[in-house]
Amino acid sequence: MSSGKKVWSAALLATAMLAVTAACGSGSGGESADGKIKLRFSYWGSAARQQMTEEAIKKFEAKNPNIDVEGEFSDFAAYYESLSTKVAASDAPDVITLEIRGLREYADRGTLADLASTVNTGDIDPKVLGTGAIDGKQYAIPTGVNAFSLVVSPTELEAAGQKLPDDTKWTWDDYVNLASKISEKSGGKIYGTQQSFNPAYLQIFAAQKGEPFYNGNKIGVSPETIKEWWTTHQNLIKTKGSPDAAKTAEIGAQSVDQSLLATGTGAMGMWWSNQLGGIAKKSGKDVDLLRMPKRPGATTGGMFLQPAMFYTASSKSEHAAEAAKFIDFMINDPEVGGIILSDRGLPASSKVLAAVKDKLPPTDKKTLDFLDKVKGELADPPAAPPKGASAMEDILTRYSEEVLFGKMTPDDAAQKFITEANASIAG
């Protein structure tokens, strides 16, 4: 038996295989094979966004022939999963796209670099820019802004014999009445509105009472305000202005494409202003933005601009200067603005916005006009929320549904919500 020899030959074969596979790796970190500097840029989105971004990257590479930008992209649901793995493995991309809820988490871990002196932010509204600053360091540059507002379909209102409300004066009660009238007049075919449990909605509602959503590392909204907020939801169900609790829970879990308004079974809803285009396309109807209703006697409408996303740079990048240069280009170059348009929110840089204004599709023009109109009444953009804020929407939705299903009293739910939310952001 020459078994010993056989085993050795097998072992040799395996080693040879390994050697071959290892030799197939690409050139090592930061330098691509042709001696160019390699920048890795991670972002999330749809295929359409990927094509625009590739185009913008080509423009950057044409102007900086010594840099080779490699886009790393996935859809939003999977984005943080792969990003956190890369960061944990200290293999973070050089330029990282983040959204406001994840910002503090990454900044606190020391993942991000201060961009204050390396990126030109002169054309960005300082208040909006401030949302990307944590403890006085400009870790993140906003790409563009959105506002959480009320989306309405004038055609559906007309069909139900209702007039567009005067949104400078309307109250939450007016909103509930309008919704129930639409449901009633359409004979149950169309719902007046659909419920929203988005924390941004509660934030606007609380601001009308002068309460901030976050107070440092604590929830700044009082239990009374949360209960009051739920009253509007309960009244909508009572007056049939919205679907009942069960259907509300069902559509709440779906994307905006499956919302009542987008599927032609609702007249109103609350979303971020950049979703207007998608809703218009899916519903095939005319849609418009309205100011959020107010409490009687409120001094502020509470609406605010929120950055759609941020560009940040890795603090461990070997090419910090090039990373900053790339971010600067993506934010300030009018040509890039002309490619990306409103895909990352309406451009934060006023110069870029002025340059691309006429190229925007009609729904974006509407959004722009609306934002111009409400500019004077907006609250300051909120600072980056505490760590753990990403879970806020889930927590709020859960307790809201408990209340609407009548499983918890509003008193009880408000207390429990605050306790759980505080625990989630304490870290």
Amino acid at 248: T
Q: Tell me the per-residue interface mask from 356 to 395 with other proteins, x by CB under 8 A, - otherwise.
A: ----------------------------------------
Phi-psi region of 379 (alpha: psi -120 to 50; beta: other; left: phi over 0): beta
CA separation for the pair 388, 424 (Å, rounded):
6
CB of 182 to other proteins, least distance (A): 18
Contact assessment for residue 318 and residue 29, using Cβ atoms and an 8 Å cutoff: yes
CB of 426 to other proteins, least distance (A): 25
Q: Which of 12, 58, 66, 91 binds other proteins (CB under 8 A)?
A: 91
Nearer to other proteins, 32 or 64 (CB): 32
Residues whose CB falls within 8 Å of the CB of residue 88, separated by 6 or more in sequence, listed in order: none
CA separation for the pair 269, 145 (Å, rounded):
20
Q: Tell me the per-residue interface mask from 48 to 87 with other proteins, x by CB under 8 A, - otherwise.
A: xxxx--x---------------xxxxxxxxx--xx--xx-
134 to 129, 130, 317, 324, 385: CA distances (angstroms): 11, 8, 20, 18, 10
Q: Which of residues 231-260 bind other proteins (CB under 8 A)?
A: 255, 257-258
> What DSSP line would sit under 270-311, residue for residue?
EEEGGGHHHHHHHH-S--EEEPPPB-TT-S----BEEES-EE
Q: Strand 37-44 to strand 67-74: parallel, antiparallel, or no bridges (unpaired)? A: parallel
Nearer to other proteins, 88 or 391 (CB): 88
DSSP 8-state code for residue 359: G
Angle between helix axes 392-404 and 199-207 (nearest 10 degrees) is 80
Q: Which of residues 298-337 bind other proteins (CB under 8 A)?
A: 308
Buried b (16+ CB within 10 A) or exposed e, 111-131: bbbbbeebbebebbbeebbbb
Residue 42 in contact with other proteins, rule: CB under 8 A: yes
Residue 17 in contact with other proteins, rule: CB under 8 A: yes
CB of 344 to other proteins, least distance (A): 9
Site stretch for other proteins (CB under 8 A), options 40-48, 58-66, 192-200, 400-408: 40-48
CB of 264 to other proteins, least distance (A): 5
Site stretch for other proteins (CB under 8 A), options 22-30, 226-234, 242-250, 311-319: 22-30
CB of 409 to other proteins, least distance (A): 33
What residue spans of 39-168 are helical by DSSP H?
Answer: 47-63, 76-88, 100-108, 126-130, 154-159
Residue 281 in contact with other proteins, rule: CB under 8 A: yes
Residue 274 in contact with other proteins, rule: CB under 8 A: yes
Q: Which residues bind other proteins (CB under 8 A)?
A: 1-3, 6, 10, 14, 17-18, 21-22, 24-29, 40, 42, 44-51, 54, 70-78, 81-82, 85-86, 88-91, 99, 255, 257-258, 262-265, 274, 277-278, 281-284, 308, 343
